[in-house]
Amino acid sequence: MFGLSKTSRRELESCSPIEESLPADSDYRLSGFTAGTRIATAQGWRTVEAITVGDELLTFDNGAQKVVAVTRGAHFACSDTLPAFATPIDVPRGTIGNDDPMVLLPEQPVLVESDAAEAMTGDPFALVPAKALVGFRGIERFRSLRPVEVITLHLENDELVFADGGGLLLVPSAIPGASALDLIEAAGRPAPYKVARGPLAEALVAAMSKEDARSYRNATVAA
């Protein structure tokens, strides 16, 4: 249900031979922000590639928090041999609270809010990987025409930040080689945000789709 179900209008051409060549030490970037994503900072909206160590991001739960590290890499989204699990996710405007279209990596945790989440977990808010949203409100996978630059911002603690006008995405405290996201904080406490994965995430998004369909039917009847 949540696999590579359809192709986007973006999947129009194959990559050029230059773009198809991957460096020997490359790997697939599965989370982080794609270049061009706008992030809410204490100084206003800024593209993620313009954010540096020491800048303050506006977080959902804890106000302004300083960036402690920035890591960068390239996601070879244009590769004709890119496996389905690594293809980026195209999120239309307004789908998850975003004012602008978004391009997310498949494992990037996204906050969703729904009655379905509350019914299943006791909390109206839930974090799911972007790949779990494929098929929901027009969200789909796509292959771009060139490699995608990926920037990961790191804060002192895991935090939810505002992206592209209102979408809420998880920014990790974990820095490569330091600690794993979803395991522990530096102080040894449980990570404050848990991401629903696998069958739980699929069931949650399926319930949200049914909720949308029910709301549409009720609105049609009322009209």
Predicted confidence (pLDDT) at residue 167 exceeds the cutoff of 80: yes
At 198, which amino acid appears? G
Predicted confidence (pLDDT) at residue 2 exceeds the cutoff of 60: no
Predicted confidence (pLDDT) at residue 58 exceeds the cutoff of 70: yes
pLDDT in tens, 175-212: 655 544 444 444 444 457 899 999 999 999 999 999 88
Spatial distance between the Cα atoms of 101 and 223, rounded to a whole number of angstroms: 30
pLDDT in tens, 93-128: 999 999 999 999 999 999 999 998 999 989 999 999
Residues 140-164 have a mean pLDDT of 88
Residues 152-157 have a mean pLDDT of 92
Chain centroid, CA 23 distance in Å: 25
Cβ neighbours of residue 4 closer than 8 Å, sequence gap 6 or more: 84, 87, 141
Ramachandran category for residue 211: left, alpha or beta (phi over 0 → left; psi -120 to 50 → alpha): alpha
Which residue from 35, 155, 154, 25 is spatially nearest to 88, judged by alpha carbons? 35
Which residue from 103, 142, 149, 131 is spatially nearest to 11, judged by alpha carbons? 142
pTM of the full predicted structure? 0.79
Alpha-carbon distances of 141 from 120, 134, 221, rounded to whole Å: 26, 7, 33
- Helix/strand/coil for 129: strand
pLDDT at 203: 95
Which residue from 152, 166, 10 is spatially nearest to 88, judged by alpha carbons? 10
Alpha-carbon distances of 140 from 5, 59, 86, 103, 156, rounded to whole Å: 8, 27, 13, 10, 32
Average pLDDT score over the chain: 80
Predicted confidence (pLDDT) at residue 27 exceeds the cutoff of 80: no
pLDDT at 215: 79
Q: Locate tokens 């303050």: which residue?
A: 56
pLDDT at 219: 67
